[in-house]
Structure 1
């Protein structure tokens, strides 16, 4: 059957459907209702509450009238049953709708009812005409309401017509089932054809709920199967280097040179890494930990395992400022071990760059720290054994794949200081093994957070001055205004001038994105060495700055920041033994969402709890950036609301992949037909296709 075989399908309607992404019968079947009208109970008018409840009301038309003029023109149709009257109101399309009605006709109105004074009314009700009272029984059903748009409305392709088409399709077509029989039985899912019937022609609320569960499961199952396949191919094809020796580098560092005791979380993560690099297959592990939890020391442990086994290590960061920070940290930590560490970033002189590349290819360089400059074509390694990727969510999935081409299946360690909620980790990082570092290193005190209005600036500055006198240092951060670096800079510059006057007894510095790299570095070095006590900055210090002496973070216009961003900023302080304070300063008008974010920051220091709240506020696409993250845009599934279905789909998909990776068994034949093109598309994205 083809679209053109459907009744009342004009050329204009075919074009409108195509503009709505519907070019085939299957596309139309996959055009799901956005909601349903439950007509199974017809309400008496005097029984209505009028607080927005969705109802079905049947009555005879008593009056049809158009009121108002111009833009305020509206159509009112008053119906009456044996208990009272109700008004249907149309603010648009009144001229067309008026022609549909005649006085004394028996009609049914469906919609959300409101009460204004003594009068009940429904705005833009769905309606049906009834021949006589005996036909009311035909109304007692669940009616799907389909999404609409300008193209569909223009051609009068409404829910009623789409519903008729779905009836015709389901009478003549039977879409093949591709989910394995064992999966359908285990999870009590309706078969595909029945699920389409239940979603488009439901006889009860439970039917369309079952159908939606089926299609959500299906989407998540295919995605998880693609992740399982990706991981299977890595394990199958990529025999990892075996780091059998824990030699001089590793033992000397942890036994003689590490200036503090490892936390239980750090020890557990290092144990996971040790197991991975001795397994004979390529390590793909994510180290997740809150800001300041000590992930870098864990990464150093992995790097030293590579060096002990005559391999090189690469450490990739998303920005130059963060790459430079890691370069300094690694150089400081590994100074006693006589290790050759090089920094490779974009703005280096040609002679220096040539020297680094020669050093890398010749094997003289043990560790290279850098930005995406590391994965450029002309960069070659002598023997790359480990790639560490920091702040993974800031890189595209392809970039992660590209560094794998730089060696013979190097082990991969991914780090994230942005806590990823469990629901996202289950999808986005299903191909990675995950180690979570909980807690903070010893001696760290939780940061105290407070919210203050702008009018309290004077008292806040007095408090800051007291802390500075005690030897502390302060950040004052200004937001990115309207995504404009110029506006951002203007705001921060004005603040810098004001604070320079207020704190005239101290050194005040300015840091922003338009400064040259060497100037930024010089300013940061001054702050690190306490030559600057107050650093006024744009969000450029969100990541990559570690100043243990900094004890105060003032965030101006804090209501403009996202939750995770505020948490990242707060993570810049509290990195030493001094008690630290984060003061979030807000403007006059704060939205409900803004108030929620500020309140959540005061309530908890737990980055994972904050990430969950941020995910709920913004949704997964905005949380990570869908295109960057590799997370697909699901049609019906929601990884926040449908976590239980996600877990079931993941378990089922990974069981199938373990059972038959090639999907050649008879039970998986139909699944293979659907999954092969799906996986081909995903593989391109992952850089494997």
Structure 2
């Protein structure tokens, strides 16, 4: 399995060997991320032009394409800077062919007066006169069969033409190798999919609009190949993570029973189920690699702490990592009371720990005196040694891709890994992003959380909102006021937040209003947060820094200014900051009219539902996958053909298929396994190939 199989060489050669591609064109293709014939065959047409032969241009509506046979009439050379015109007559009507910057002698040869030609191009009405500017095709009637009835239209970059693209693709298609089938034969039969090479040819030769849709068999098959290669990579990563022997870690339940007895409520069914799944994974001899996915306020903290207690009961240690210092401190605060009930030693380690104090913590950790460590990525540093680490929990606001997860398990020491995310992700995306993991979902709210009443308020009613706050503060309640997103600029956002802070302070009174934004020094941010948590300030003006993790049960009002500028998931996360106590909570979505169609739809969905999973599905439908989790740092693969929104069902099939294949053939040595290796090379999944070779 050392190198790329010979059969794929023609697809991985230089582009310049293809018809009509020289060094200059090759550079243009590079801008489209097309650097070899393989990339070209996976660049599918996005639409098509109907070029069926018509008797007359009268058969098409202006603005569409017509292909007609005409008799060529008089040539009219331009006066001054105007265009060059040629009169022509089809079976029913006369019209003009129009050329800008044309050479008359060339057009005389192309369109000799008195002869017949077949022309194809877009027909427009100009001052009541029909014209066709720069026809795409001008051919003698005997050569007109060259024009396809339906011509594919490809994505282009400046400098490339449709004709050049079509020619290059045709040339690349002559190199298609005949590859063995890697998809499960019963699936191919059930779906009626063509073989790989046949599917590629069909996708480049659509016979009509239906062939361009994601549901066309050839397109579905090629999308499936992409998803299957991706899921196979994730399944190999999962297999190699599991090969890493985990330490069987089984607790006797004594600490967990203490905590459960002290809780003022009973865990939900979903929490119970997740705790059982995690405990079973940790007890097994292979390393756990599980995702704990829960909506805002679904009670992930309790489940995570119970998992840490399994490690401690078994005589080991656990670590919980948060992406920021504020969140690490928050975890510490929410775990502290539980740790006290269980009698477990809990400590915090962040980048702020320096000198002797840090040294002392590291020594205690190495001796095993600290049983549970909470920290930022500072816990990853070289000199941090555990006595016996059994479980690492990563609280991950999408900052960890598959690669980092592999790195963590390489640091391994056989530690089990649990990743927590508070962002409900639609199933197709969570499979794309976390397909290497087993998933536990918390889809019930614990008792004691009150539903949040959500209302839409136009920005013109600002005074009423401030009045409402004044009354609420008098009743001893607290509120968040989130300032609008301003493009990409944190500085402008900070300024806007400072303005709002000054105006609210003037309206509500000195000392009652606090401020946090991204530009403040961390110490000031922490201090402002602490004052709000302690209830000294009643209103916290903030940019979106509070979106994740802040827990102030007494805060029961959330005002979001410029709500139409936020994404659905973000609004849902922000709203989740209230409704954590017993008081009835409200979320006011303040918008600047007029709303766009999309903006209105987003705000209405929030008003209708508090179900994060439903909101995420809607968000995916409205925004698309890359946008939903910010493709740049999402760890989401970029697919050339597969469309995660429209083909989400295929992703689940691909995951099941990939896991089954590896179960039956872990080293990919069966005939289908070897075909799948070729697919991995074809899809450039080199990481996966390394995983097989180390296996």
| TM-score normalised to structure 1 length | 0.88
**Counterpart in 1 of 2:512?**
507
For the 8 Å contact 1:61–1:107, the answer to whether it is kept is no
3-state SS of the aligned residue for 2:630? helix
2:149 pairs with 120, 131, 141, which one?
141
CA distance in 2, matches of 1:98, 1:532: 83
3-state SS of the aligned residue for 1:386? strand
Instruction: Please give the residue correspondences for 1:107-118 in structure 2 after superposition, counting only pairs within 5 Å.
Output: 107-111=118-122
CA distance in 2, matches of 1:69, 1:443: 82
**Counterpart in 2 of 1:222?**
229
Query: Over residues 567-618 of structure 1, what are the superposed CA-to-partner deviations in whole Å (9 max), with x where a residue is unaligned?
Result: 1111100111111111122234544433332232222222112222222333
Shift of 1:367: 0.7
1:210 pairs with 199, 206, 217, which one?
217
Going from structure 1 to structure 2, the CA distance change for 1:7 and 1:413 (only over 3 Å counts) comes to closer
Shift of 1:114: 6.8
CA distance in 1, matches of 2:180, 2:644: 24
CA distance in 1, matches of 2:175, 2:403: 44
For the 8 Å contact 2:51–2:65, the answer to whether it is kept is no
Unaligned runs of 5+ in 2: 1-9
**Counterpart in 1 of 2:7?**
none
**Counterpart in 1 of 2:203?**
199
2:241 pairs with 234, 250, 253, which one?
234
CA distance in 2, matches of 1:643, 1:652: 15
**Counterpart in 2 of 1:176?**
179
CA distance in 2, matches of 1:162, 1:583: 52
Shift of 1:680: 3.1
Going from structure 1 to structure 2, the CA distance change for 1:374 and 1:400 (only over 3 Å counts) comes to farther
Shift of 1:434: 1.2
| TM-score normalised to structure 2 length | 0.87
**Counterpart in 1 of 2:3?**
none
Instruction: Please give the residue correspondences for 1:146-545 in structure 2 after superposition, counting only pairs within 5 Å.
Output: 146-152=154-160, 158-168=161-171, 170-171=173-174, 174-177=177-180, 179-180=182-183, 182=185, 184-203=188-207, 209-235=216-242, 237-254=243-260, 256-504=261-509, 507-545=512-550
Shift of 1:224: 0.8
Shift of 1:20: 4.8
Shift of 1:443: 2.6
For the 8 Å contact 2:121–2:136, the answer to whether it is kept is yes
Unaligned runs of 5+ in 1: 153-157
CA distance in 1, matches of 2:93, 2:167: 33
Shift of 1:324: 0.6
CA distance in 1, matches of 2:126, 2:584: 57
Query: Over residues 150-195 of structure 1, what are the superposed CA-to-partner deviations in whole Å (9 max), with x where a residue is unaligned?
Result: 343xxxxx33344345445545754534525726445432223322
**Counterpart in 1 of 2:671?**
666
Going from structure 1 to structure 2, the CA distance change for 1:676 and 1:145 (only over 3 Å counts) comes to closer
2:614 pairs with 601, 609, 612, which one?
609
CA distance in 2, matches of 1:378, 1:325: 25
With 279-288 and 611-620 compared, the bigger mean Cα shift is at 611-620
Q: Report the aligned-residue RMSD.
A: 3.4
For the 8 Å contact 1:106–1:130, the answer to whether it is kept is yes
Query: Over residues 353-380 of structure 1, what are the superposed CA-to-partner deviations in whole Å (9 max), with x where a residue is unaligned?
Result: 2222111111111111111111122211
For the 8 Å contact 1:178–1:674, the answer to whether it is kept is no
CA distance in 1, matches of 2:94, 2:347: 82
2:645 pairs with 640, 643, 646, which one?
640
For the 8 Å contact 2:290–2:419, the answer to whether it is kept is yes
With 605-614 and 584-593 compared, the bigger mean Cα shift is at 584-593
Going from structure 1 to structure 2, the CA distance change for 1:54 and 1:304 (only over 3 Å counts) comes to farther
CA distance in 2, matches of 1:459, 1:79: 70
3-state SS of the aligned residue for 1:361? helix
CA distance in 1, matches of 2:95, 2:614: 48
3-state SS of the aligned residue for 1:614? helix
Shift of 1:496: 1.0
Shift of 1:117: 8.4
CA distance in 1, matches of 2:269, 2:573: 23
Matched, 1:106 2:114: no
Query: Over residues 629-674 of structure 1, what are the superposed CA-to-partner deviations in whole Å (9 max), with x where a residue is unaligned?
Result: 3221111111111123323333332222222121112333343244
Going from structure 1 to structure 2, the CA distance change for 1:162 and 1:478 (only over 3 Å counts) comes to closer
